[in-house]
Amino acid sequence: MEVDEIYNLACRASPIHYQHDPVQTIKTSVHGAINMLNLAKRLRAKILQASTSEVYGDPSVHPQPENYWGHVNPVDPRSCYDEGKRCAETLFFDYRRQHDLQIKVARIFNTSGPRMHPNDRRVVLNFIVQALLGRDITVYGEGLQTRSFCYIDDLIDGLVRIMDTSADITGPINVGNPSEFGRCCQHFRVRIARRVW
């Protein structure tokens, strides 16, 4: 295989799916990163790691800047995903330091779009499925959470732009919507109505 750029997007992102086989989830992130980094090293290709906002854990800072280390629980049922992505980021930066590899790290926030599985169980899809079925919209906890929602086309554009940056820009770079939504679902409903699902 001969390539100039590698986008490593491997790993299920839906909690219901990645918690089904947590050992495989963390192996996908860690072993997958090592395999792709070794390929990039052999080919001298640029490589981008699709990381996640979940590396911030249960953050005490909103919104999270890229230099925030997070507030992470390494033994939670969701940790197989969070810690796998954190380890992958570490591997990327170590390969850069040790092998002078040209890396990019993007931390993705709550992306959604067409063709998602109805049982994905992430917040945007939950709202859409419940609305289409005429059910009440589930609000978790006290309903005070906020989220940065990102449409798939915008995410892809962001990843391509990150890959096209100069070699000294490595990231991590947060990729999502700069405005968080929550507390008031009216804004969320208006945004959903503007997209074709």
Active site residues: 81
DSSP, residue by residue, 62-96: SSPPTT---B--TTSTTHHHHHHHHHHHHHHHHHH
Query: 159 with 106: CB under 8 angstroms?
Result: yes
Q: How far, in Å, CA of 160 to CA of 53, rounded?
A: 18
Q: 111 in the Ramachandran plot: left (φ > 0), alpha (ψ -120 to 50) or beta?
A: beta
Greatest CA separation for the chain: 55
CA 52 to each of CA 8, 44, 97, 110: distance values in angstroms, whole numbers, following the listed order: 12, 25, 22, 9
Nearest to 102 by CA among 50, 35, 39, 169: 169
Nearest to 102 by CA among 92, 110, 111, 112: 92
**Structure tokens that stand for 33 in this block:** 């990163």
**Structure tokens that stand for 38 in this block:** 């070794």
Which residue type sits at 96?
R
